[in-house]
Every structure is written in structure tokens, then in C-alpha cells.
Amino acid sequence: MARTTSVGLACLLAALPGFTAELSIQGVNRAEFWAFFDSVYSTHTEDKLDLDIAYGDLNGTLGMFLYEPSKPWIGLRQPMRLLDYTLAYAPEHFEVLYGKYYQTFGKGLALRSYSDDDFRHYKSLHGLRGTAHLPLSTEVVLLGGRLRDIFFQENTYKVLNSVDTSDQVLGADLNTRPVSFLGFGGRYVRINGERDLTPKAFNEFIGGNASTTLGPVDVYAELCQRLGTMPGLGGRDKGLGYYLSATAAIPGYSLLGEYMDYDNLSYPAAGYHYNDPPTPIKSGVAIDRGVDELGFGVSGTATPIDPLYLEANYGQLYPHKDTIARRDTLVGVMEWEGKARYSVGTDWTFEAKFNHMVQQNIELHVAERVTDKPTVHVNYLLGEHTFAFEAEYNMVEEDTGHMEVPWKYNETALVLSYGWGDALLFTAGWQGVDLKLDRRYNGQQSWPMFETVWNLNERNILRVRLGAERGGYTCSGGVCRFESPFRGIKAQLISRF
């Protein structure tokens, strides 16, 4: 249907004087239905459509987001229905856009918005943006808009900044690379809050970055200062953050080092943020997303012989020691992981990894959580048939801070899958824990599941899952949430057109 409409409109426009461009329409739709095996058999319907339209120098997007939980609508489980659009004029050297867009300045110390379908986090800006592409690999971005932060947690969607959606964001960003080995950038972001007490009570971010490439080595540095007003008190509120990274790569080997220091940088200090600076923790854990964080990370890869691949990483994140509220409380996260993968011809692949993590006062009501998690994965390819097996065993020690003896328990996950070419994939899995944990897993201890993924054709994929999911605390890019355990049926249809 979309292709027929595209051809018809293209023919109509081409018949008009001066219209010679070709109309293009394409998009993605993700439709989901969940049925919960609870006492009232609740349901969850969701649909996310992103449609891209281009005609010559004009392009636009149409987006629809629908979340419909079954009634009665009580508490946080409320329906959400959104219709978004974007219209842009983009000739060769510049673009003027109005509507919904995503924008990140530098590494996100001053401003970061993005869409993450896997984590179900959609942080978008709505307003006007202009982009100019100038000589010497120079790009200038000017924008004004309002933030909307949609987040999925505990089996429901909510707008994190629902009381501040009228706040205004103004920003300017410049990036240039006058020579191939040297680049510079500068940026300014101002946030005018609806609830600011006086015209001077606004927050602004001022920053810049520099990067250089010297042979196999890339170095990047970014600095950002926040200038704000203390809420309800008046007076200047200041923050400072910087991020440093260096990468070295030669054939078969790579090494990355990172260092970051964020002191009162994020705004607001809790809940949603206009900025999201990087975290050195591979699994995505952060302490408070730039409010008070100091840390570093190192990661490396090696292929000493062609079928063998090695990877290792280490990261730490902790608050500044002079933070009064934390002088007597240990806070921080440390993670290291090693991984090895070996292939025998094109048929067999073996992978093993070990992850060790220590979290102190990261999760609510958890003083310390230590995990040691070995994982093995085996993949075998026989013609059009693929067989895979994965096993994970997580040894956990957890202390709420009010216990004589910490909890010690083990989490197990087993997954067996079979795939037939690109058409079908069948997966059977089981997750279990050997201790009844009411607070973390609602007292459940076993979660079996079966899933089928069927490529109906080149443009449509159907996924059906029956069984249970353990849930728990999970993170992505410094943003974390608690996922509730699930028992029921999930069906998802992804269509591309």
C-alpha cells in the first residue's frame, strides 16, 4: 500500500512544472501485545510507527506511539497516545528542521537526547533546529525546543519530566576539523524552566572539546561547566565536568582508556536529565548520572592468532570524597570482565567470559551487591541449520545494610536454540534462583520460556514468547531501571516498508 501511494504521488508531482525529484516513503512499525498470567489476566498493547518521507530537498517524519494497558487504569499504568512529526528543508549545505528530533552535543556532557528501542527509552526534543555544513569540515547546529523523556519501568510507560515539559532548551554547537589530524568543538546550552522564580534563575552549560589523531592513536578531551541558580534559595550554583579518552589500534590489537570527573554537572540532579555523560562501566551502571562521579575505564582487544579473539575491560566509578552526605557511606561501582572466543573453521564457535561486579549503594535499599558471573556460549553451523547453547551462573552476595549475615544466592540461566536459515529460530530457556527473594523477584524462583522468531518475508518478523522472565535491575548507558518479573505471552511484529 505504501509503495503504491509513493508511485502515485511521484507521478503526480513529476507532471507539475519544475518538479523533477523522486518521492520516497519508508518506515518501520513495531506492534506488541502482552498478556499477563496474573489474577486478572492484564494485557498490554503497544505500537510504535516511524515513517520517513523524502522529496528532493524536503524530508519529514511521522511518528506514532500508542501504549494501551487493560482497564482498570489505576496508579502508574495509564494509556499513552502520541503523534509526532518533523518537517525539514535540507539542500546541499544546510538544513532547517521543525518538529521532533534527537541531538547530542559532544559526548553528552552538555546535552544528550536519543531513542533506544531495546531499553525502551525515548528522550526527544521538540522545536526548531538549524544545521550548517561549512568548509574545513565545519558544522554548526542551532536549536530551540522542549524535552520529552519517555521511560519504561515496572511494566508501564511514563513521562519522566511530566511536570516540566514546558521548559525551554536553547543550544548552539560548533565542530570543526581544519586539518585531518586536529579537531575542535564548542557549545552552549541554556535551559529556561517554567518554575524558575526570577528571569535570572536559569541553567546554562558552556563547554568545548579537542581531538587529535597521531598515527594509530586517537585522543579526545571535553570540558563542560554548568552555571545555575540554587532552587528556592537564589545564589549561583556551579558544576564542572570533563571526559578524556585515548585509543590506540594496530592490526589485531586495540586499547582504550577513559577518565571522567563530573561534579554537580547534571541537571536536574534527580529523575530526568538534559545531559547524560558517559560511564566507564561496560554494563551501563552509573551512580547518579553526572551529579557526583569520578572514575576511569580501560578495555582492550587482541587477536593473537586468527581464530582466537580476546577481550578484557575494567572500570571504576565513585563519588568525590568531600561529598558531605557520603563521608560515612561507601558508594561506587567496580566491574571487570574477560572474554575469549575461538572458532573452528566456519562451523564451531566457542565463547567464554567472566564478569565480576561490586555495587555499593547503587540500587535502592541495597548497601552492597557482589556478583561473579561465568558464561559459556557454543554455536554450531550445519548448512542451513544453526544450533546454539548458552549457560550463565551468577554467584551473588547481597547486603541491605541491616543484616547480620548477607544473602548468598545463585542465579542460573540456560538457553538452547535452533535456527533454520534466516526463516525460523526456536529458543527454549530457563532462569532460576536458589533463594526466595520477595523484594527482588516477588518470591518467584523459576522462569521457563519458549520463543519462536519467524521471518515471514523480507520485511516482516514475528516474535512470540511464552513463559516467564526474571526481571531485575538493569542498566543501559548510565540509565537504570527495575524490571518486574513477567509471566504470560508476548507477541511482537516488526514491519519495514
Going from the N-terminus, what domains does the chain have, and what CATH number goes with each?
93-278 (no CATH), 304-497 (2.40.160.10)
Closest to 331 measured CA to CA, from 344, 343, 321: 321
Determine the Cα–Cα distance for residues 350 and 289; give it in Å rounded to an integer. Answer: 36
User: Which ranges of 332-476 does DSSP label H, i.e. alpha helix?
Assistant: 438-441
Contacts of 229 (CB under 8 A, 6+ apart): 196, 198, 200, 201, 202, 203, 235, 236, 237
Given this model, what pLDDT does residue 402 score? 82
What are the C-alpha distances in Å from 204 to residues 190, 194, 380?
4, 15, 54
Residues of the chain with pLDDT under 70: 1-20, 197, 231-234, 322-329
Determine the Cα–Cα distance for residues 143 and 47; give it in Å rounded to an integer. Answer: 29
Given this model, what pLDDT does residue 13 score? 45
Buried b (16+ CB within 10 A) or exposed e, 275-284: bbbbbbbbbe
Within 10 Å of residue 309's Cβ, how many Cβ atoms? 18
Closest to 279 measured CA to CA, from 300, 293, 263: 293
Convert the pLDDT of each residue in 372-396 to its tens digit. 999 999 999 999 999 999 999 999 9
Within 10 Å of residue 123's Cβ, how many Cβ atoms? 22
Closest to 286 measured CA to CA, from 240, 317, 320: 317
Convert the pLDDT of each residue in 468-485 to its tens digit. 999 888 999 889 988 888
What are the C-alpha distances in Å from 311 to residues 295, 337, 358?
21, 8, 20
SS (H, E, C) 219-287: EEEEEEEEEEECCCCCCEEEEEEEEEEEEEEECCEEEEEEEEEEECCCCCCCCCCCCCCCCCCCCCCCC
Convert the pLDDT of each residue in 310-348 to its tens digit. 999 999 999 997 544 444 568 899 999 999 999 998 899
**Amino acid letter for position 385:** H
353: its cell numbers: 567470559
Determine the Cα–Cα distance for residues 442 and 204; give it in Å rounded to an integer. Answer: 43
Given this model, what pLDDT does residue 9 score? 43
What are the C-alpha distances in Å from 156 to residues 74, 75, 265, 427?
11, 10, 29, 26
Within 10 Å of residue 416's Cβ, how many Cβ atoms? 14
Determine the Cα–Cα distance for residues 368 and 361; give it in Å rounded to an integer. Answer: 6
Q: With residue 443 as reference, give the H or E element that holds it.
A: none
Determine the Cα–Cα distance for residues 224 and 339; give it in Å rounded to an integer. Answer: 35
Within 10 Å of residue 267's Cβ, how many Cβ atoms? 22
Within 10 Å of residue 62's Cβ, how many Cβ atoms? 18
Given this model, what pLDDT does residue 193 score? 84
Determine the Cα–Cα distance for residues 299 and 258; give it in Å rounded to an integer. Answer: 9
30 beta partners: 48, 494
439: its cell numbers: 523484594
Given this model, what pLDDT does residue 376 score? 98
Given this model, what pLDDT does residue 414 score? 98
Given this model, what pLDDT does residue 1 score? 41
Determine the Cα–Cα distance for residues 497 and 494; give it in Å rounded to an integer. Answer: 10
Given this model, what pLDDT does residue 14 score? 47
Determine the Cα–Cα distance for residues 276 and 111; give it in Å rounded to an integer. Answer: 7
Polymer length in residues for the chain: 497
